Structure 1
């Protein structure tokens, strides 16, 4: 470790130590490789931010520990017609500032999530209207039959209309433009925890909500969230007891932590799929040596890239076995996934070279690859391996790895030619991935919102719309299979793997690990230790 790294590590541990002196026995200290970029729950559709914000804000419908639907701000819901749903709202609920929760807040929040700057438009794309029945009931009318609507809105969090208006936060924080407002730094939800302190990229302190409407199963009174980008520093802090929970655990440190006296690693499969995307729309790539045309518009080039990636090598050397190579954009546990379709083209450098030559690039070409270095497990190392793989077929990758704070705004503006992204379908259904990642981008409706390379096949789009409305499961699954077959044949994206969850947890802490990598504080407890 360099002198600079040692000084930084010492400074971080000293700060954590100072925090721990203030913490009581029911304080839980959590560290992640990056920070939640905003407290605004509509500003970024990224799981760490949504997971963090969901401790202060709540949707109408949430999730149980087994990921089944759970009533939160709605006590019940029913489909009165194929396109109209009625939601009965919970009474006697207050926002953290004491303002009563009513239907007006729901209508406002859905409109806010659909508006300019929102990054969660994909959850409202097929909603025609949200209507007030009375103060504690609403109707949601969809543009067509939409049997999975409750699943789709399970992460659309409700904000206080009054608070947003008073704080000039009626529009979401726009991460693409760097526009901030009060909702970036303060939170006023109905959730089980309140935000007491927010220092971006330093720490965020949550305290138990004494007026919460429901039961808080865990005994945590305070949760201190600290971003620690250096993996070695995170591990050292866990082993020394300066923090209680860390995520993710570097794969090379799992055995070491499990052998320690104070901590253990909780592992499990994650629903997230890591993949690579390519700009397939522009006539000339923004960041490439090829001028006057776009090589990624040629399927042979996309296939060459795919066959040049040694995913098994990445699994063994970079991920140390903590990943599952995939040929689909969804993994096991997502409705519509099938083992029969989850196949990758063979890793074959010579075949890839031949394809590039046939496409007119016998000597390869140069292109910039955008990659985060603090979002997914070993993300920058994966990108480095991909770059080394592609070098074998003559493709020179200019790797631009950066913190997610600048990475996401850049790629969400589609200011990229070749990029990495990870995606967990929030509905646990393939329609979500088809609609958000593979459908032709439409800024008006929000479909294809995260199809950042603008892959487009109208037949897949038509199937995606039909899948949304189909209620017959065998027919629906058959259409999902057909849509995936189109995307596979087109090589619309380059799926890599599903990463394995690995949380480092103090032996004095009990918590629930969910396959969507959410971390609800309400299920966290500090074990009582006898004096």
Structure 2
């Protein structure tokens, strides 16, 4: 906390110096947002943009500490009641005051955004009522105990019922009309998939930001992003290509900023349908049964993956083998696990046992330009599966297209990632049987459903006593791991590169690329 205050004070001093006026930070970012509507798609690349213009009640900093934003404090009154003290000094960019009623308006809107690939519903699912005690105080009444309430209140950003009500449309955020928040930066201009320009909010209630102007340039191609940094077109890039890290380490013009992430890559098999769209026999004919519905086939896929080789050779040590569906530092992860085995011979035997000794054909889908070397990782996985008799083709898609199609259940097997400081959070969001009314499984795009996961997880989500919640969470996590309902692949290490004479970056375990984490070099 002392470090954060000191950094904020330094930023204020720098911003106030006439000699340092009109500082511009140009960021070469890999992945553009799928929309500017801050509630449209709960994903890292959208959220990092939304939180520059809008604010949640709280935020998690890069040390996983809760920091106040539109709330000053929160305390549990009883297991069904939380008191939140609001920051009434906050104003929206047009001068509209932030009011207690805005929280209720926002939370009511969250589950209703149409055509969303993944809503923020889990974060507001348990709130039954919001009671305004006075202009600075609200009570959150929950239907059931919610041990994740502090994390949940650090998720959806707050809109204004006066500015954004009664029925804000995603298109009006994309056009800029409704890009009016309380955050440290104001929206200036947006060109879809190309660039976003922001200006410092001089009336922000928080510490003065050092950057007068921020430009995001969205550059999905790794080589082009590197070229923009080397030529001086941008000051900072994210997702530094693995193969370029040694080169940048030797170039005194640039600095690298690295941190172990809370991000893990996984595969989502189509385990619940009788037939699957991208699986055929070796001659391309439909199969009478979906092989991915058989746990033995999913286990074979896991056994075929050379995770250690991928981490060492493809990622040059900037990744580690994943051993479960949780980040290495996640709270309540399974303990004492060894590495997931790599055993192609056993994989082939399981395929034969399941009745697929002759193998089959399959297409694996995944993103291109969503995390480092994602397209190369897809190829490596396809080669591994082909070696055990599953003839695998690859189709890499732009992230927005991938997630829209995945939500429509268009794929047999697809690759993506999740980031969380908790084990229970990805379980409830990605694994739990999908239930839009309760907010369960918004990212469960393959509609996986397993009572052995759901039952302990449902209990954990209402258990305030930590040791009991940990045991229930681990019970659910173990059931998922044994069933291979999702297949862990690798854990990522986050790397940024910046001009040494221009910027110092505070690397984010959640992989956020934000001007608030960058400070100018004096």
Post-superposition shift, 1:325? Answer: 0.4
Cα distance between partner residues in 1 of 2:488 and 2:181: 36
* Distance change (3 Å), C-alpha of 1:265 and 1:350: same
Post-superposition shift, 1:130? Answer: 2.7
- The equivalent residue for 1:517 is 511
Alignment of 1:443-462 (within 5 A): 443-462=436-455
Alignment of 1:25-64 (within 5 A): 26-64=23-61
* Distance change (3 Å), C-alpha of 1:501 and 1:237: same
- The equivalent residue for 1:240 is 231
Q: Does 1:109 align with 2:106?
A: yes
1:36 touches 1:49 (CA, 8 Å); kept in 2?
Answer: yes
Q: Give 2:419's match in structure 1, choosing from 424, 436, 444.
A: 424
Q: Give 1:208's match in structure 2, choosing from 191, 200, 221.
A: 200
Tell me the alpha carbon deviations over residues 320-371 of structure 1, each in whole angstroms, 9 at most, x when there is no partner. 1110101211122210124413631x21112111111111111111222111
- The equivalent residue for 1:409 is 404
- The equivalent residue for 1:178 is none
1:279 touches 1:452 (CA, 8 Å); kept in 2?
Answer: no
Alignment of 1:435-474 (within 5 A): 435-474=428-467
- The equivalent residue for 2:493 is 500
Cα distance between partner residues in 1 of 2:353 and 2:62: 51
Post-superposition shift, 1:24? Answer: 7.4
Post-superposition shift, 1:211? Answer: 0.8
Tell me the alpha carbon deviations over residues 190-247 of structure 1, each in whole angstroms, 9 at most, x when there is no partner. 000111111111110111001101113x411111000112212211221222211101
Alignment of 1:119-198 (within 5 A): 119-165=119-165, 169=168, 173=170, 181-186=171-176, 187-198=179-190
Equivalent position SS for 1:504? strand
Post-superposition shift, 1:415? Answer: 2.2
2:83 touches 2:138 (CA, 8 Å); kept in 1?
Answer: yes
Alignment of 1:75-94 (within 5 A): 75-94=72-91
Post-superposition shift, 1:292? Answer: 3.2
Tell me the alpha carbon deviations over residues 413-434 of structure 1, each in whole angstroms, 9 at most, x when there is no partner. 2222111110012xx2211011
Tell me the alpha carbon deviations over residues 473-494 of structure 1, each in whole angstroms, 9 at most, x when there is no partner. 2222222222221111111111
Post-superposition shift, 1:25? Answer: 5.8
- The equivalent residue for 2:318 is 322
Which 10-residue stretch deviates more, 127-136 or 400-409? 127-136
Q: Does 1:363 align with 2:358?
A: yes
- The equivalent residue for 2:480 is 487
Equivalent position SS for 2:75? strand
Which 10-residue stretch deviates more, 353-362 or 457-466? 457-466
- The equivalent residue for 1:387 is 382
1:276 touches 1:421 (CA, 8 Å); kept in 2?
Answer: yes
Ranges in structure 2 where 5+ consecutive residues have no aligned partner? 1-19, 281-285
**TM-score, with structure 1 as normaliser:** 0.89
Q: Does 1:265 align with 2:256?
A: yes
Q: Give 2:217's match in structure 1, choosing from 222, 226, 231.
A: 226
Instruction: State the number of aligned residues.
Output: 492
1:512 touches 1:519 (CA, 8 Å); kept in 2?
Answer: no
Cα distance between partner residues in 2 of 1:147 and 1:443: 20
Ranges in structure 1 where 5+ consecutive residues have no aligned partner? 1-22, 174-180
Which 10-residue stretch deviates more, 253-262 or 190-199? 253-262
Cα distance between partner residues in 1 of 2:219 and 2:510: 22
The root-mean-square deviation of aligned C-alpha atoms, in Å, is: 1.8
- The equivalent residue for 2:348 is 353
